[in-house]
Amino acid sequence: MKVQMIYDQGTALYREDGLFVVGCRLFGVLDGTSAPYAPKYPPKMFNGMSGGEMVSRLCERLCYVQPDINLEQLIQFLNESVGKEQEIAGILHNDAGELAGSTFAFARVNKKTIEICQAGDCFALWVTRDGKTYITQNQVRAHDTDMNAELDRLQMEVAAERNIKLSVKLTEEELKPIRGEVWNRFCPTLKEARRQDVNNPTSPRAYGRLDGNPRLMKLMTFYKFPRQDLQILILFSDGMLPWSRMKNMTDEQVGNEMHKIYKKSGLRGILAKARHEERKLRAKRYLSYAEATAIALNFSDEK
């Protein structure tokens, strides 16, 4: 088995994605999320870290402490630990609008089997020996479709109010006050949407997030298959494929696209293509370049 990893912070203010490799057995990527914040709504900090950073760093550290329990037990342990950390800060475990959390994709590689556990908009993609490609569901698609549409609308609205033409020529400093006002207006909407959707199986936009709420366990997906059947396994956060492309693709198409680029140029090629797409639309988006994280496991040389 060969292992390749990549992480790029993009233009994100905080390092909220996470990644861990514990020996040759336990692997994972995390996409941390803070409670919504903006210039008018300062972020809740945890010993100098944003909420999303706190969750990702805590999970990374704890995965090295508990490497041998099964994946379901591991997620439950991490979820309870994240919840306790936020309870200490006075945040209730049932208020998804105020909680920090993380979506994730984990894999345990055993001698004869491979197990995958996933929730939210981190992905596990695997290719079998016979060339078939599979990918986990993007649980956040419905939520993101509505939230990104509102962000795009607000970006245009604020720019129009200030008589600014959104152009690729605008610098990060020129875009900063526009984006700041966009988030001032968007924060209440996002908080309420998270209260409706995060770890709520009854919501049509439901998705799982590791944030301390025990209902996460009802929204995770698990897979297990023989190790000998696998050729490639890639765990990645949503930043590896920009929303501008993902929104028009099915999950199956996302898997095929990622596998195609990976075969040609590896994880660096996937990231390079993502950055190329983001560059064209950066002035019209709330973030120029997203955090992107991935781990690729290649079993091709195994008999």
The answer to whether 102 and 52 are in contact (CB under 8 A) is yes
44 has a pLDDT exceeding 90: yes
Q: What is the SS3 assignment for 185? A: helix
- As a whole number, mean pLDDT of residues 149-173 equals 94
Quick one: pLDDT band at residue 91, thresholds 50, 70, 90? confident
Q: 246 exposed, middle or buried (CB, 10 Å; 0-12, 13-18, 19+)?
A: buried
Supply the pLDDT for residue 73.
94
Q: What is the mean pLDDT of the chain?
A: 95
Cα dihedral 109→113→119→121 (10° resolution):
70
Supply the pLDDT for residue 302.
86
Bridge pairing between strands 17-22 and 26-33: antiparallel
> Which position has the token pair 């996470």?
18
Q: 189 exposed, middle or buried (CB, 10 Å; 0-12, 13-18, 19+)?
A: middle
The answer to whether 129 and 230 are in contact (CB under 8 A) is yes
Instruction: Return the exposure string of 37-53: e unless at least 16 CB atoms fall within 10 Å of the residue's CB, then b.
Output: bbeeeebbebeebbbbb
- As a whole number, mean pLDDT of residues 97-107 equals 97
Locate the DSSP E strands across the chain.
2-8, 17-22, 26-33, 45-46, 49-50, 101-109, 113-119, 123-128, 133-135, 221-226, 230-236, 292-298
Q: pLDDT tens digits for 211-263?
A: 999 999 999 999 999 999 999 999 999 999 999 999 999 999 999 999 999 99
Supply the pLDDT for residue 266.
97
Nearest alpha carbon to residue 101 among 181, 44, 146, 183: 44
Model's pTM, two decimal places? Answer: 0.96
Quick one: pLDDT band at residue 61, thresholds 50, 70, 90? very high
Distance CA 210, CA 75 (A): 8
Q: What is the SS3 assignment for 224? A: strand
CATH number of 2-298: 3.60.40.10
- As a whole number, mean pLDDT of residues 66-70 equals 79
For 101, left (φ over 0), alpha (ψ -120 to 50), or beta?
beta
Supply the pLDDT for residue 69.
83
Supply the pLDDT for residue 93.
74
278 has a pLDDT exceeding 80: yes
Which residues, including other chains, have CB under 8 Å from residue 197's CB and lie 6 or more apart?
Answer: 96, 143, 203, 205, 206, 207
